[in-house]
Amino acid sequence: MKYEPKPIAAAQGVACCDVVNRGAVYDGGTLFYNTLDNRTVALDAATGKEKWVTTLGDINKGETITMAPLVAKGKVFVGNSGGELGVRGWFTALNASDGKIAWRAYSTGPDKDVLIGPRFKPFYEKDRGSDLGIHTWPGEAWKQGGGTSWGWVSYDPALNLVYYGTSNPGPWNAEQRPGDNKYTAGVFARDADTGEAVWFYQMSPHDLWDYDGVNEQVLVDLPINGTTRKTMLRADRDGYLYVMDRTTGEVISADPFVHITSRQGIDLKSGKPIENEAKKPSVGSVVRDVCPAAPGGKDWQPTAYSPRTGYLYIPANNLCMDFEGVEASYIAGTPFVGANVRMYAGPGGNRGEFIAWDPVNRRKAWSIREEFPVWSGVVVTASDVAFYGTMDGWMKAVNARTGEPLWQFKTGSGIIGQPITYRGPDGKQYVAVLSGVGGWSGAIVAGGLDARDGTAALGFVNAMTDLPKATTRGGTLYIFGLP
């Protein structure tokens, strides 16, 4: 059985950071996934036949879809990509039965478009007010303001809330968009049935460094100061591990899990980041040693939490950058960035780290240094084994309690896909992973970019000049049986 969606080839020309797809979801006999040219597809999992196809965006405006959908409460949740092309971000719920749009919430614009009403009660004053999606932008800049939702979606059935992050404002040159630029670079909690916003927290008001906010929300109940609280764990691009109350949006704690120079902390009373004034960018001048770099302490590659160990396992980056703001002009469907960037390894020279983080005691339990950014996701099992992949092609298993190496296997290409574990029809447990380097971090290999141009791939090439010597293009599914 085979199904080919045949996306419009021109969609590749407006895909910001390599041509990627972050996965599909299975629910009740139906397979749901998105295409680069803005379609959400529902297939009969048994036959491969289309049940419905819904077009959600327009590649001529620079919109694409790269995220994996989530299905909950009879709805398919989807967000768009294209913040680097000046699109207007949105998050949409489709009826799983027929593909019709149930609701759509924009990240910028008037409250009626953002689906903000009487239920909206952000924890912090900085996120409160009327029509902030307009008033925190100059003029009509919100119409090209970014805030796309191309990352991960979480759902709490007890609260009936969906959680998702919004990406960077456009352009990267912050001088062109004075203000907090709501509702970009933050996380929304919305009613799954109606889309009505319940709360919002902005990690990066007036985002200076492309820190976005699309990373995953891990929903766990944790003992905090003697009381069990409904929390959300976010290893954010800004380099802080946020422990938040998922009912209210309160930040309980925020601690650095990587080296940070761009900020001096998070003020828990106001919820605001304490920016390092010496590192603020400006047009025409180069700010050096900004850490973490734009891909963050961790980008979209998802973490995993083990209720057995109490640790959150973080595939992290150790990257810094030099940043220069430049003027950007908006033309629909073309890059709208406004920055020259060069990235490089952070302190110690390693560009990645695999971290076990204790969110209750707010500390690193153990970590493993990696030569390249750890751009794969993580899976951790009930037998206390954590699996992850490396960009030079190693699939690794380590003791989830201590970090002790247990096993590794060299695949044919760098791993930027997420390992999964499942039980087969034979009753045996397996671990599977896709090997095939690419994405923003691996663009130098997948796109055949010239290592001499350190600004290529929005500056990531400068940090990855040796990756072509360590791996090649690929595209292979590996399945490993567990004893």
Q: Which of 214, 97, 226, 218 is nearest to 146 (CA)?
A: 214
Question: What single-letter amino acid sits at 476?
Answer: T
471, 437 Cβ separation under 8 angstroms:
yes
Query: What does the DSSP 8-state code read for residue 266?
Result: E
Instruction: Give the Å distances, CA to CA, from 268 to 249, 371, 392, 395, 467.
Output: 12, 34, 39, 38, 40
418, 433 Cβ separation under 8 angstroms:
yes
Instruction: Give the Å distances, CA to CA, from 81 to 209, 311, 391.
Output: 18, 31, 24
Q: Which residue matches tokens 């059985």?
A: 1
Four-CA torsion 453, 455, 458, 463, nearest 10 degrees: 80
Q: Which residues are catalytic?
A: 84, 168, 210
**SS3 helix, strand, coil % of the chain, rounded to 5?**
10, 40, 50
Question: Could you tell me if residue 371 is left (phi over 0), alpha (psi between -120 and 50 degrees) or otherwise beta?
Answer: alpha
Rounded Cα distance, 8 and 300, in Å = 25
Q: Which of 381, 417, 375, 476 is nearest to 23 (CA)?
A: 417
Q: Partners of 31 in the beta sheet?
A: 26, 43
